[in-house]
Amino acid sequence: MLSNNQLKLLVSLQQKKYRQKYRKFIVEGEKLVGELLLQKTFQTEALFGTERWADANVALAPYFLQKFNAVTEPELKKISALTTPNQVLALVQMPDTEPIPVFPRTGFHFFLDGLRDPGNLGAVLRVADWFGMSWVCCAPDTADLYNPKTVQASMGAVLRVKSLECSLPELLAANPNMPVLGAVMDGENLFQTLLPANGIVVIGNEGAGIRPEVAQLLTRHITIPRAPDGHAESLNAAVAAGIIAAWVYAASSS
Amino acid sequence: MLSNNQLKLLVSLQQKKYRQKYRKFIVEGEKLVGELLLQKTFQTEALFGTERWADANVALAPYFLQKFNAVTEPELKKISALTTPNQVLALVQMPDTEPIPVFPRTGFHFFLDGLRDPGNLGAVLRVADWFGMSWVCCAPDTADLYNPKTVQASMGAVLRVKSLECSLPELLAANPNMPVLGAVMDGENLFQTLLPANGIVVIGNEGAGIRPEVAQLLTRHITIPRAPDGHAESLNAAVAAGIIAAWVYAASSS
């Protein structure tokens, strides 16, 4: 049974301003909620699930008895951001804002310079989570990490990869002399260049690319080479992020 | 001015069954329509644009005088599949179905085994278009190449990359002995294996991966290695396609 206040709160969290106001967001579906309940960084405040989900997850009951609210499928449909709601939805507290990290001497991190599509942001979080990049730092106008579409597209990576909103100068103030790699149109051939052992990989906005004020801070301009018979003007931003991450990972692990 | 019949036809083309029935689809926005008008494979049947677009594109007038229909912004909004309609929309004929291609002895092509998300399909088309892969072959249950979301996400690559719907056995009947590479969880390390000079790269469905009957036809099982401290279960399908395409391109061009 869902109260009107719960309904109102949960639906409001599909909008960024309410997520920021209440410092809460939503994680949906059997798989993602299962992962949520197994980790310790994010606090789950309440669960809204079908009786079927509860029956299939009795093992979790001791931990969540006080937090579980049985809802009907029609109720779930009302609060879900998914086209096809999937059994359970969790109300989750946003973690406290992390201080600007000081990065270790090895390894790479992303700085996203205004990536706008939540699907792309989710895919980049998966890339970071796959290649063991511990931080994804986002310029303030990047898509919201806790947008339901980002959470879904990240397949749970948003719960595992560390992230924060900051500017590149702030990041560099805490990490002076850190190599800053950016994908541009006329840089060094990624496939033929010697890469540093650590660095920040900057990914620009889908349409506009890396902003001039951020481009000024790049220490390495790299380019994913296009085939002589290729005609695309650009790659999807998450695909480009994946190719660069794969390359720096392969170079550092070989 | 938009007639009721035009309105009905254009709106219906947002659904696959009508695209297939009429063998027509829609290309939207100044940039994509600009590219459409410069290429010769696809026949443009009609253009629906604002007066502003017409004024900015007078150079195109001689070719399109008979095909251009001036519409108002509110009319454009009615026929557009975009959240923010962008000046012009073209009604385009689907090309005739291509025969199963016989691939050359070098180069790679994609076979998409039921990729479902039009955004991912569009991103894969861009990958193919970037790395000069001439064909993208799609299993019949793959997302529709002419879905408005695919067309937009492909950034015009759908107009340049050759594509067809077929099964992998059909493709292999025309190309016996062609290496078939598929990304699986426990294959050879992509970054450490010697790749063939040509082949078909199979990309599976977002959730289910490559179907068993297709997996049986793989001649090379490859894996994008996950970092020891990485935790993601998988990569986004378009990102995985991009990494493999980048790798085979780098290997063949070095």
Residue B99 lies in a domain: no
Check whether residue A239 and residue A121 sit in a common domain: yes
Residue B83 pLDDT = 86
**E strand or H helix at A212:** helix A212-215
Q: What is the mean pLDDT of residues B116-142?
A: 97
Tokens standing for B47? 């253009």
Question: Are B126 and A236 an interchain contact pair (Cβ–Cβ within 8 Å)?
Answer: yes
pLDDT score recorded for residue B61: 64
**Same domain, yes or no, for A86 and A37?**
yes
pTM beyond 0.90, yes or no: yes
Model pLDDT for residues A194-224, shown as the tens digit of each residue: 999 899 999 999 989 999 999 999 999 999 9
Domain count, chain B: 2
Could you say which of B49, B67, B93 is where a domain stops? Answer: B93
- On whether both B135 and B215 belong to a single domain, the answer is yes
**B76 and B147 in one domain?**
no
Please tell me the distance in Å from A89's CA to the nearest CA on chain B.
20
Q: Is residue A59 over pLDDT 90?
A: no
Q: What residues of chain A lie within 8 A of the CB of B247, using their CB? A: 246
Is residue A150 very low, low, confident or very high in pLDDT (cuts 50, 70, 90)?
Answer: very high
User: If residue A27 lies in a helix (H) or strand (E), which one and from where to where?
Assistant: strand A24-28
* Domain final residue, candidates A58, A93, A128: A93
DSSP run (H or E) holding A102: none
CATH code for the domain in which residue B9 is found: 3.30.1330.30
Specify the range with the lowest mean pLDDT, choosing from A9-13, B89-93, B187-191, B250-254: B250-254
Q: Which residues of B touch A249 (CB under 8 A)?
A: 225, 227
Counting every residue written for chain B, the total comes to 254
Which of B162, B235, B252 best tests the A interface by mutation, with the highest count of A CBs <10 A? B235
In percent, how much of chain A has pLDDT > 70? 98
- The count of other CB atoms within 10 Å of the CB of residue A17 is 8
Mean pLDDT score, A180-206: 94
Asked if residue A36 lies in contact with residue A42, where contact means CB atoms within 8 angstroms, the answer is yes
Range of the structural domain that residue B33 is part of: 4-93
Which CATH number do you get for residue A137?
Answer: 3.40.1280.10
**A227 in B contact zone (CB under 8 Å):** yes
Tokens 């296009």 found at: A226
Question: How many residues in chain A?
Answer: 254
**Which one of A130, A203, A224 makes the best mutation probe of the B interface by having the most chain B beta carbons within 10 Å?**
A130
> Residue A138 above 90 pLDDT?
yes
Q: Kindly state the tokens that stand for A254.
A: 């070989």
Q: How many helices (H) and strands (E) does chain A have?
A: 11, 10
Contact present, B179 and B195 (Cβ < 8 Å): no
> What are the pLDDT digits (tens) for B38-66?
888 999 999 999 999 988 888 776 666 78
Whether A102 maps to a domain, the answer reads no
Note whether A115 and A177 are same-domain residues: yes
Residue B169 falls inside a structural domain: yes
pLDDT given at position B62: 67
> For the purposes of burial, counting CB atoms within 10 Å of the CB of B61, is it exposed (0-12), middle (13-18) or buried (19 or more)?
exposed
Whether B132 and A254 lie within 8 Å, measured CB to CB: no
pLDDT band at A63 (very low <50, low <70, confident <90, very high): low
Residues B145 and B36 in one domain: no
In a domain, B137, yes or no: yes
User: Is B130–A226 a contact, with Cβ atoms under 8 angstroms apart?
Assistant: yes
Neighbours of B67 (CB within 10 A): 15
Same domain, B80 and B119: no
Nearest-by-Cβ selection for B130 from A160, A230, A247: A230
d(CA A143, CA A215): 20
Are B195 and B143 in the same domain?
A: yes
Q: What is the pLDDT of residue B98?
A: 83
pLDDT over 80 (residue B168):
yes
Q: Is A34 on the interface with B (CB under 8 A)?
A: no
Q: Between A and B, how many residue pairs show a Cβ–Cβ distance under 8 A?
A: 133
Residue pLDDT, tens place only, B59-97:
776 666 788 999 999 999 999 999 889 999 999 999 988
Whether residue A232 and residue B126 make contact (CB cut-off 8 A), yes or no, is: yes
CB A142 within 8 A of CB A115: yes
- Distance, in Å, from the CA atom of A75 to the CA atom of B35, rounded to the nearest integer, reads 46
A250 → chain B, closest CA residue:
B191
- The token duo for A65 is 């008895």
